[in-house]
Structure 1
Amino acid sequence: MTDEAPATPGRIVLLTVSHRVAPGLLSWPAWQTLRAADRVLCADGAHPLLPYLREAGITVESGITVEAGAPAPAALTARDLVDECAGGRTVVVIPSGGGDGEGAGEGALTDGLARLAGSGRVQMPDLELLPGSYDLPGARLLDLVHVMDRIRRECPWSSTQTHKGLAKYGIEEAYELVEAIEDGDGDELREELGDVLLQVVFHARIAQDGLEEEEGREPFSIDDVAATIVEKLIHRHPHVFGDETAETPEDVKAHWLRTKAVEKQRDSVTDGVPLGQPGLALASKLAGRVRTAGLDVGLPSGDGIGYELLAMAVRAEEAGIDPETALRAAARTYRDAIRTAETGGTATE
């Protein structure tokens, strides 16, 4: 009597794909596995990948259930799936919805396979997780755009907002971002950066509707916003994307200023300086423009604290100090002293 060779268990491949990547763009190992598979299963008949697989000549079957006795005429339970792999066969399962393998059906399916493996009574096939497509850096921004589109359409508050109505929130979020930077809290910084990013996407989505009250404003989308800043960054970094060289940060700043001067064609060095910014920042910005242009402009004289603050802001700029940052740091120390006094402690110098 001869011993029979053990049956080859086969292989179950869970093929995950990213919904942030265009359907049909799969890795070469994914295409190889799909073409060589004995069966390809996908419970989602509307999966965006299916037309591309069929065009490539790959037959995809639908109808996966996870519990024995589930009412689906051509369905496979976890045990059925294991049996399908007998004799060395390969079965590929594509998760529903084009996500990252997080579909509820596939989660229950993997749970069922885990129970079978844990029972010790079933010879299990090899189980493999095969990423068919990967997210590139920045891919999650597509999720933000998608969520913003839906909120803009369906939220009673968001659907009525305008650029002017949201302007105050942009200022608030910018200040909160600066505070997070100064606090040195990484988690807070990440959250505040997200809040600032939301303002950008929100305004771009409003602009896409083309319903703003200002006359002559053409609609644009978040892609137009991104394209504009990409073009500007490339143009203003000829030492990175062109033939010029820059060895020091000063060289980079000189490139930047020369390029901006050509782009803007300003009549005055004060053009483009927003007068609505905080006073110390405004004074420092004007002083920086004067110094960079090599102009000899004396400070205006007059009575009052405003002229004293102006002179202090100019001196700070000349010393390479941001007066707004310096004042905020001093104010925070003052705040701590106030809190100490409120609790009956002794303020420290």
Structure 2
Amino acid sequence: MTGPRPTTPTMITTTTAAPTTVVVDPRLGAVLPARAVRLVAAAPVVLLDASLTPALARRFAEELGAVPAGDDDPVPGAVLLVAGPDPEAPAGAELLEAVAVMDRLRSPGGCPWDAEQTHESLLRYLVEETYELYDAVAAGDVAATREELGDVLLQVLFHARVATEAAEGFDVDDVAAELVAKLVGRHPHVFAGEAGVATAGDQDRRWEELKATEKGRDSVLDGVALAQPGAALLAKYVSRAKRAGVPEDLLAGAVPGGAPQAVVAAYLAGGDPEGDLRAAATALGTRVRAVEARLPAPTDGQPRRTGPDDWRSHWQ
């Protein structure tokens, strides 16, 4: 009786090398970091981590032939794409995220209120947010300034998105491209080596010259927004006229006396007449509130009733 035939052992090689991880920043879309492009191109397989959004995973699957990562033994040389912030992402990456959020809000399944807004319905918010930013900067409140700048940016994104949906011929990229073209075109001393701009005053004059040429304006006052507050409007007219070379004494004499003349004088002295008027309004508001605090409190839930004598007796 013979025993069982002995078997010849088989050598099995198991690799436990983990795939190389490449972090992709969802804010940038389906874009690989430049330093990882060759690595991914040479990889035998590209794996998709569960941290990637479905839309991003789909793009990488279509463009790279990537497949979802599983529990199987890793393939030597494999690359795993994982979602995460890229520390070397260019400045402005969060702007792309802001555009994506606006797209989500205005798209089907987004926010009903956001979806109903138009250029006209948003105007009052644009004005409100601009003044709130003004207040934050004037108060030196850094945190509030950062927040209010975001609210103003929201208005830009909102209007650009509305224009896109209304087939008005432009989107947020067109807005940014036009701004870039304007900044480059009006700074030829920076981007084109033009001579003759050595001071801020030189640049101020050159800016207006280039703007007038671009827009075909006949007057230095063309293009000033007429809807702005009166003090700001007058100050802007003075600014434009001064840039055009109108002597200060002529400017001061051309304005009737009183408050308008004070606005002109404040601007010519390098001040901020709109800010001065707002500061005066704030001071007045503080004074009125202080007097109200000294007046008899309202009773029975009724509004306080005051007369001239009440104010005079408590005005200090």
Q: TM-score range by the shorter chain?
A: 0.7 to 0.9
1:131-166 deviation digits (Å, cap 9, x = unpaired): 6x9522112211111111221123222222111111
Match of residue 265 from structure 2: 315
Match of residue 141 from structure 1: 95
SS of the aligned residue for 1:312 comes to helix
Match of residue 331 from structure 1: 281
Match of residue 127 from structure 1: none
Instruction: Tell which has more relative contact order, 1 or 2 (C-alpha 8 A, sep 6+).
Output: 1
Residue 42, structure 1, aligned to residue 29, structure 2: no
Match of residue 128 from structure 2: 172
Q: In 2, distance between residues paired with 1:94 and 1:292?
A: 56
Match of residue 290 from structure 1: 241
Q: In 2, distance between residues paired with 1:25 and 1:9?
A: 26
Match of residue 219 from structure 1: 169
SS of the aligned residue for 1:135 comes to coil
Alpha carbons of structure 1 residues 145 and 257: separation in structure 2 relative to 1, 3 Å: same
SS of the aligned residue for 1:146 comes to helix
Q: In 1, distance between residues paired with 2:43 and 2:215?
A: 59
SS of the aligned residue for 1:145 comes to helix
1:197-248 deviation digits (Å, cap 9, x = unpaired): 010110011111126xxxxxx3311111111111111110011111213322
CA contact (8 A) 1:16 1:94 kept: yes
What TM-score does the superposition give when structure 1 sets the normalisation length? 0.67
**Deviation of 1:292 (Å):** 2.2
Gaps of 5+ in 1: 1-6, 55-59, 65-75, 102-130, 212-217, 302-306
Q: In 1, distance between residues paired with 2:31 and 2:128?
A: 43
Match of 2:84 among 76, 100, 115: 100
Match of residue 238 from structure 1: 188
1:7-27 deviation digits (Å, cap 9, x = unpaired): 997445332112343536443
Q: In 2, distance between residues paired with 1:149 and 1:316?
A: 44
Give me the CA root mean square deviation: 3.1
**Deviation of 1:315 (Å):** 0.7
Q: In 1, distance between residues paired with 2:215 and 2:190?
A: 22
- Identity of paired residues, percent? 40
Q: In 2, distance between residues paired with 1:157 and 1:29?
A: 42
Q: 1:53 corresponds to which letter in structure 2?
A: L
Residue 201, structure 1, aligned to residue 153, structure 2: no
1:29-83 deviation digits (Å, cap 9, x = unpaired): 563377367x6532568442234434xxxxx55343xxxxxxxxxxx1xxx76xx
What TM-score does the superposition give when structure 2 sets the normalisation length? 0.74
CA contact (8 A) 2:47 2:69 kept: yes
Match of residue 124 from structure 1: none
Q: In 1, distance between residues paired with 2:221 and 2:150?
A: 32
Match of residue 308 from structure 2: none
SS of the aligned residue for 1:94 comes to strand
